[in-house]
Amino acid sequence: MQKRETDDLQEALAQATFRAMRDAVIYLPPDVKRAVASAAAFETNAVAQGEYENITKNILAAERLGVPLCQDTGVPVVYLTIPPEIPFSQVLFEAVADGIRRATSNVPLRPNVVDPLTRHNSGDNTGAGMPAVHVRPGNRFTVTVLPKGAGAENVSRVVMLLPSEKGCIERVVAETMLIAGGRPCPPVVLGVGIGGTCDSAAALAKEALLLPIDRMDSFEQQLCDAVNRLGIGPMGLGGNTTALAVKVKMAACHTASLPVAVNVQCWANRHATVEVEW
C-alpha cells in the first residue's frame, strides 16, 4: 500500500472511531431504549417508576442537547472488523487512538485513563494498552466502540468453576448482582461469558453486551429471572426489574475447567458501530 493510501486509511479509521465514540456516549441503541421502556411499563413500585422517569428524561436530554448520557464516559473498548483487502498493521491501532483523542477533545469526554500504579492521567483517554482494541475478520470494515464506566466494571468478575458445577452458573450470575447491589446503576445489562480460559471468558462476557438485548433465549431468560428475583430494582431502591437483560456468549474449554465471567453494565448499555469509508 502506498503512503498516500495508508494516510487515507488512517484518517478514515480515525474519523470513524471519533464518530462511533461520540454516538455511543450520546445516543442509546434502539434495542436498549425499547428494553428500558418495557421495564418502565412493567414496573409497579412507585419509587422505581420515578427512577424510570428520570432515566427517560436523561435519554431525551442527551439526544436533544448532544451531550453524553453520563459524566463517566468510560474507557474506550474498541472492536475492529477488517476485510481481507485491509492490511493489518500498527497503523490501525494508531488511527483508533487518534480517533479517541479527537472524541475526548471534541465531544468532550471525561479523561478517565490513568497509569494503574502512579495514577497519572494521560488526559486524552489513551495510554499503554488503551484504548483496548479487539480485531476480527469480516466482510465489512467497521469500528465498534463500547465505552465502559467504572461503576459497573468494578463489580464484574470471573469465577473458575469445575465441570461438575455446571448447575452453579445461575448462582454465580445472581450472586454477582447481589454483591453489586445498587453500585452499577441498575437496571443492568449483564454479559455472561462461559468457557474458554480465564481471560477469554472475560472477553466473551464483554462482547455479549453488544448483542441485541430486547430478545433472550430460554437460558438467558432463566438467568435474567434469577437476577430479577433479587428485587434490587432501579438504582438499588427496589423494584421489579434489576436486569434489563442477560446475554450469553460461549466458547469451548478445557475438559477440566468451566470458566464463567459476568460483565456488568449499567442501564445505559452504550455502544455504536460505524462503517469505515475510504
- Whole-number pLDDT of residue 245: 98
pLDDT at 259: 98
Mean pLDDT of 134-145: 97
Report the DSSP beta bridge partners of residue 159: 260
**Maximum alpha-carbon separation in the chain:** 63
Query: Percent of the chain at pLDDT above 70?
Result: 100
Report, as an integer, the average pLDDT of 144-154: 98
**What are the pLDDT digits (tens) for 95-105?**
999 999 999 99
pLDDT band, residue 5 (cuts 50/70/90) = confident
Give the percent of the chain with pLDDT over 90. 97
3-state secondary structure at position 15: helix
* Residues near 117 by beta carbon (within 8 Å), at least 6 away in sequence: none
Q: In three state form, how does the secondary structure of 137-160 look?
A: ECCCCEEEEEEECHHHHCCCEEEE
State which H helix or E strand residue 107 sits in. Answer: none
Give per-residue pLDDT as tens, 119-130: 999 999 999 999
> What's phi and psi for 210, nearest 5 deg?
-85, -10
pLDDT digits (tens, 9 = 90+) for 246-275: 999 999 999 999 999 999 999 999 999 999
Is the separation of the CB atoms in 195 and 261 below 8 Å?
A: no
Q: How far is CA 99 from CA 15, 29, 90, 140, 219, in A?
A: 6, 21, 14, 19, 38
Q: What is the pLDDT of residue 3?
A: 75
- CA quadruple 105, 108, 111, 112: dihedral sign: negative
Cα 102 to Cα 57: distance, rounded to the nearest angstrom = 28
**Overall average pLDDT of the 112-124 stretch:** 98
pLDDT at 1: 65
Q: What is the pLDDT of residue 2?
A: 76
State yes or no: pLDDT of 4 exceeds 80. no
Please provide the average confidence, as pLDDT, over all residues in the chain.
97
Query: What span, in angstroms and rounded, lies between the C-alpha atoms of 264 and 207?
Result: 12
Question: What's the whole-model pTM score?
Answer: 0.96
Residue 146: which of 56, 78, 89 has the closest Cα?
Answer: 78
